[in-house]
Amino acid sequence: MAFVKAKGGGIFKLSISGQCPDWIPVNPNEHKNVWVYIEIEKGHMHEASIQLLGKAKEVAGKVNSKLVAIMIGNNLGSLLNEPGMYGADEVIYVEGQEFETYYAIIYGEVMVQLAMKYKPEAFLIAGTMRGRELAPYIANHLRTGITADLTMIEVDEKTKEIILIRPPFGAWQLAHIRTLRRRPVMGSVRPNVFPLPAKDTNRKAKITQEKAGELYEPGLELLEREEIKESEEKPIEKAEVIVSGGKGLGSKEGFEIIKELAEQLHGTYAGSRKAVDMGWIQHDRQVGQTGKTVRPNLYVAVAISGAAQHVFGIREAKRIIAINSDPNAPIFDNADYGVVGDYRQIIPELIKLIDEAKNAKK
């Protein structure tokens, strides 16, 4: 993305006319409707795509246009009815045996063809790992801009322009990104930032079948797919209680007591980027701007300073408890309950008390 200094915080005007002659000509005014690609996982709509439908519905309303869900696959069947229940006005789908296996190049090419035909104003894709792989490919074929991992979507009240918002380098700030001269406005959208919309089983979208034109040979072949064993370690996106550890734990062993407290609270463990950098936990357990956004009922931050990039990932947490030995740690500014002290002394005590409280109940 091109960083241009904004004057006085207002919308930036760019004094560039014309555009790259190699690009397919685009007239932004001809582009209508908000598109969402529906990722299908194990025969269901991916939760991140459903969350995105909810937000995209709101955006479509603000720009007075329709919300269109794009589906590709083999034997989609009753799945085609689902986007409507979450707010889609229309479903456009392409079906066939050649789409049995997901390949970014094939699915991407189909969506490029659809977008050339229908000219959507915006095209949003859930930022799952697959979505992050797919979205820039489509955008590039359309020679349009794309914003990665966006966390907010706004519509300019006057111009009705869709503006995508993401955290830039310093995380207390958000970057408002405009797409000039090109359409669709494209973005991958961070999972878990928007809540699941309500489901209305009576609501129906108009369903349209499309045919794919000529497709590339993908050049790759899926040989094996294996589900990663879901150990008893729950993924952090799904957890209602998360106990999270930072650099201040001092060592990998520090996570033992973090896990024990997590277990006592029927939750799971996570950590800061420094904890990941030290190799104490896996990257898929990192919370924050370059890790995951979580929305638990309770987040316990242990020996985590509370850097902006970390706190960014816990904005949606209902309650935050902080345990830190430094009374000036910024995490206390972002906590509901904070205690100043050494986690090595406090947590074993707390585990003991929780244990006693549980036993007393029995």
Chain residues that interact with ligand FAD, rule: CB under 6 A:
169, 246-248, 272-275, 286-291, 303-305, 307, 309-310, 313, 323-326, 329, 342-344
Left (φ > 0), alpha (ψ -120 to 50) or beta: where does 119 sit? left
Contact flag: residue 4 with other proteins (CB under 8 A): yes
- Closer by beta carbon to ligand FAD, 44 or else 344: 344
Q: Are strands 40-41 and 44-45 parallel, antiparallel or unpaired?
A: antiparallel
In the bound complex, what is the minimum distance in angstroms from residue 176's beta carbon to other proteins? 5
Q: Nearest to residue 331, comparing CAs of 247, 254, 262?
A: 247
226 binds, among ligand FAD, other proteins, none (CB under 5 to 8 A by kind): other proteins
Q: Which does 19 bind (CB under 5 to 8 A by kind): other proteins, ligand FAD, none?
A: other proteins
Q: Which amino acid is at 279?
A: G
Torsion (CA) 329, 330, 334, 340 in degrees, nearest 10: 10
And the tokens for 275? 């904890």
**CB 315 to ligand FAD: min, Å:** 13
Site for other proteins in 130-189 (CB under 8 A): 130, 132-137, 139-141, 143-149, 163, 167-182
- Across-strand partners of 127? none
Rounded to a whole number of angstroms, the minimum distance from the CB of residue 311 to other proteins is: 9
Answer yes or no whether residue 104 interacts with other proteins by CB under 8 A. yes
Listed ranges 52-60, 91-99, 221-229, 246-254: which one lies at the site for other proteins (CB under 8 A): 221-229
* Residue 66 or 182 having the CB closest to other proteins: 182
Least distance CB 140 / other proteins (angstroms): 4
Is 52 within 8 Å of 149 (Cβ atoms)? no
Q: Which is nearer to other proteins, 21 or 78 (CB)?
A: 21
248 binds, among other proteins, ligand FAD, none (CB under 5 to 8 A by kind): ligand FAD
Give which of ligand FAD, other proteins, none residue 238 binds (C-beta under 5 to 8 Å, depending on kind).
Answer: none
- β-sheet bridge partners, residue 340: 324
Contacts of 65 (CB under 8 A, 6+ apart): 32, 33, 34, 121
246: left (phi over 0), alpha (psi -120 to 50) or beta: beta
Q: Which does 355 bind (CB under 5 to 8 A by kind): ligand FAD, other proteins, none?
A: none
Q: Is 2 in the site for other proteins (CB under 8 A)?
A: yes
Angle, to 10 degrees, between the axis of helix 129-141 and the axis of helix 104-118? 50
Q: Using the rule CB under 8 A, is 338 a contact of other proteins?
A: yes
Q: Is residue 320 part of the contact set for other proteins (CB under 8 A)?
A: yes
Cross-strand pairs, 333: none
Please state the separation of Cα 230 from the chain's center in Å.
Answer: 21
- Taking residues 46 to 85 in sequence order and writing x for each that binds other proteins by CB under 8 A, - otherwise, the string is ----------------------------------------
**Residue holding tokens 């002394």?**
345
Tokens 């189909």 locate to: 110
